[in-house]
Amino acid sequence: MSSTTQPHDNPRVLVFDSGVGGLSVAREIQRRLPGLPLVYASDNGFFPYGTKGELELIARVDLVMRRLLALYPVDILVIACNTASTLTLPHLRSQLSLPIVGVVPAIKPAAKLSQTGVMGLLATPATVARPYTHELIREYAPHCDVISVGSSELVHIAEQKLRGETIDENAIARIVAELMQHEKAHLMDVLVLACTHFPLLKEELLKYLPEKIQLIDSGEAIARRVEYLLEGKTIGANTAVNNIAVFTRKTTESERLAAALTAFAIRETHYPDFS
């Protein structure tokens, strides 16, 4: 895949995820750079990523990226999905010439933050199992105990929340209980939210977690990286920017996200053909 992407007159960034999770990253980018136009792309046609096989996921992300970048010229691509980033980044970087910012589990800052050396890792089952994640732990948290729980259920709950549906808080309580049943859980003082969907459930998670546990995710660091990469470019300071959402499939669920999307200054939704 060679990128035919031309730089846009004013910088524009593509934020990509399997669903609404990347909005937690978009939110951090908007906090830092409120005038930066975003294209938010959700591969809802292949959602969820966390239960997919590695080869099929690499092929899918490759296909969707080719199409998206041809349709929406951007200056930076943010893979706002831990599940995709921990698998597809080397492939994407070898194929595309634009800067790619990947979102990977915040193990390094969590290891620095933890006083007890016991941290939790909440991610999709795929991210928990990825060699990339294990490598991050070996490199940045070799002295830590990492209590990992993989959950796709939480991903679905985050989607429901953004569609304005009633969510099953008992399920959230159950997932927290699973994390807390580990023999060293009483020492846990940091929990890494290593799926971009999960910061969207921060309030709910905090209700069931012991108070001393701090939540950490990669959103803010990604926003800082985007800001750094755009240094020297002119970005409007106002918030009157009109962002675009792109879905790979039109569904009743995607249509029900309209209200939530307006909170991200997304007022235009596109459904290009991804078949």
Question: Which residues contact ligand DGL by CB under 6 A?
Answer: 17-19, 21, 47-50, 81-83, 124, 127, 152, 155, 195-197
CA 198 from centre of chain: 9
- Choosing from 41, 79, 154, 195, which is the catalytic residue? 195
In angstroms, what is the minimal distance from the CB of 92 to ligand DGL?
15
With tokens 């991903």, the residue in question is 155
- CA dihedral 89→202→170→107, nearest 10 degrees, is 40
Query: What Å distances lie between residue 157 and 126, 152, 172, 175, CA to CA?
Result: 17, 9, 8, 12
Concerning whether 195 is annotated as a catalytic residue, the answer is: yes
In angstroms, what is the minimal distance from the CB of 5 to ligand DGL?
23
DSSP letters for 142-155: TTSEEEEEE-SHHH
Can you tell me the distance from the alpha carbon of 273 to that of 241, in angstroms, rounded to the nearest whole number?
Answer: 25
- Nearer to ligand DGL by Cβ, of 22 and 37: the residue is 22
At a CB cut-off of 8 Å and minimum separation 6, what does 173 contact?
208
In angstroms, what is the minimal distance from the CB of 66 to ligand DGL?
20
Concerning whether 144 is annotated as a catalytic residue, the answer is: no
Dmax of the chain from CA atoms?
55
State whether the Cα torsion 227-229-235-241 is positive or negative: negative
Can you tell me the distance from the alpha carbon of 270 to that of 114, in angstroms, rounded to the nearest whole number?
Answer: 43
- Nearer to ligand DGL by Cβ, of 226 and 241: the residue is 226
In angstroms, what is the minimal distance from the CB of 124 to ligand DGL?
4
In angstroms, what is the minimal distance from the CB of 194 to ligand DGL?
7
Q: What share of the chain is helix, strand, coil (3-state, %, to 5)?
A: 45, 15, 40
- Nearer to ligand DGL by Cβ, of 70 and 263: the residue is 263
- Nearer to ligand DGL by Cβ, of 81 and 172: the residue is 81
- Choosing from 23, 69, 74, 81, which is the catalytic residue? 81
Residues acting as catalytic residues: 81, 195
